[in-house]
Amino acid sequence: MNTPCPQLDTTFRYETPEGIELELRPAGPVVRGFAWGIDFGIRAIAYLLLSGVASLLGGVGTSITLIFLFLVEWFYPVIFEMYKRATPGKSILGLEVMQADGSPLCWSSSLLRNLLRAADFFPFFYCSGFISMILNNRFQRLGDLAADTVVVFKESRNWSTKVPKFPPQPVPLPLSLREQRFILDFVERAEFLSVERRGELAELLLFLTTGSHKQAELALLAYANWFVRGR
């Protein structure tokens, strides 16, 4: 059947040329904002320490401070992203930067995404970057879109991926592999979702289920067991 397969969340998959499927979970604006705050605090401490020492050197100290400010503001994120895959703030919160296709970040992309922070900042306090992030499901700011990069959680999943045992039941209609994967994802993650959220997701598969939300969830659980365990 050709019914479009909905998504449980913003997680997306990418298959490498070697046939390995990567699952990436993009980081949203809130957690990235906290990461930015941590990095800002680190830079601010470094600036204060340097300015204290530079004040003893007069004009030479001022020149050194300005050069240091320039280098840190523009190359602090690039250096950390290339050698650690994330700035200290991102690392603390379990984030990393990579190409949108799941491959490692390259120098040109890191430079481009960070040089365009000025565009993301426009007209004030990263307003353009925030708007860009909430308008696409991979939370890419303008710099990310231009460099084809994403900021993702290092661990895409921290829950069990076991399907609870339940009497299996075959689906009434033929499903594509992607649609079967959606049902399995729903069942595997159901215990981590609220009742309201489970009901909303179950409604996306009304063409396969009938009755109340609870009955629909049980039907999906039966289908998932059919996929995994058969009769």
The answer to whether 106 and 112 are in contact (CB under 8 A) is no
pTM of the model: 0.64
Give the pLDDT of residue 19: 47
Which residue stretches of 85-206 are H helix? 88-92, 107-115, 117-121, 127-134, 142-147, 177-189, 195-203
For the chain, the domains span 26-153, 159-229
Q: What is the pLDDT of residue 89?
A: 95
pLDDT in the model for residue 206 = 60
* Contact between residue 43 and residue 80 where contact means Cβ atoms under 8 Å apart: no
Per-position DSSP letters for 61-98, written without gaps between them:
HHHHHHHHHHHHHHHHHHHHHHHHSS-HHHHHTTEEEE
Q: What is the pLDDT of residue 1?
A: 43
CB 43 within 8 A of CB 88: no
Contacts of 79 (CB under 8 A, 6+ apart): none
Point out which residues pair with 99 in neighbouring strands.
149
Please give the Cα distance from 170 to 160 (Å, whole number). 24
- Residue 23: the pLDDT is 72
Q: What is the pLDDT of residue 166?
A: 83
Confidence (pLDDT) at 223? 84
> What pLDDT was estimated at residue 219?
82
Q: Distance of CA 175 to CAs 163, 172, 189, Å?
A: 18, 9, 20
pLDDT, tens digit only, all 231 positions of the chain:
444 445 555 677 665 544 445 678 899 999 999 999 999 999 999 999 988 888 888 778 888 888 988 888 889 999 999 999 999 999 999 999 998 887 789 999 999 999 999 899 888 888 999 999 999 889 999 999 999 999 999 864 444 457 788 888 888 777 777 777 778 878 877 777 777 777 777 777 666 666 666 777 888 888 888 877 665
Residues 6+ apart with CB under 8 A from 50: 64, 65, 68
The C-alpha atoms of residue 11 and residue 156 are separated, in whole angstroms, by 8
Cα 42 to chain centroid, rounded: 23
For 199, half-sphere exposure in the C-beta direction (CA atoms, 13 angstrom radius) is: 7
| Spatial distance between the Cα atoms of 65 and 71, rounded to a whole number of angstroms | 10
What's the pLDDT score for residue 230? Answer: 61
Report the pLDDT value the prediction gives residue 18, as an integer from 0 to 100. Answer: 41
Question: Cα(226)–Cα(222) distance, rounded to whole angstroms?
Answer: 6
